[in-house]
Structure 1
């Protein structure tokens, strides 16, 4: 078991999870984060830190595409080890439907 970041993170990217991760397994895209499943130690401390419930256990059903997305972009995006600032409109983006289809960016973030 490991954890994955899901669609709710897109355009919200609060990054509270980054601050508590003991193994620095988060990677930053332009408008979301992903978890490297090979580095995640399944401690679960990140899950309750996410204010929008975007982090889930990969054992939950229906998350297969998010497991693959996290795996793919953790290889492409820079590692992030310090909490940055969320987008200015993060609060307004919470709960917006179809964020993957409409807003997902493959571009890397700045990393840290």
Structure 2
């Protein structure tokens, strides 16, 4: 599939509400930082996000407010396999890669016994 940019969408459109796994991005204008954070967090998914800015303060402030598992700043899909990766909300549970995988793929069992 060729890279695709979709614009002029409403926040309620399917493309804005669902995860699209492919070379597709939706571009929608916004007025304020608070507005764009609220809109980004207003969906049921939270795998990844990207913040594009020339201001380091903005990058940190927005990244901490986004409800996603990974935030890239001024880049996309740069990933060290030693760092945890995974989403929140309906985008998955737990983290993969590095030591986080041990807990995610471990099934613990508790056995309680009282001897009389």
Same fold (TM over 0.5): no
Select the structure that is richer in helix. 1
Q: Bigger relative contact order, structure 1 or 2, given CA contacts below 8 A and separation 6+?
A: 1
Higher Cα Rg: structure 1 or 2? Answer: 2
TM-score grouping bracket, smaller chain normalisation:
under 0.3
| Higher normalized strand content (fraction of residues) | 2
Q: Provide TM-score, normalisation by structure 1.
A: 0.23
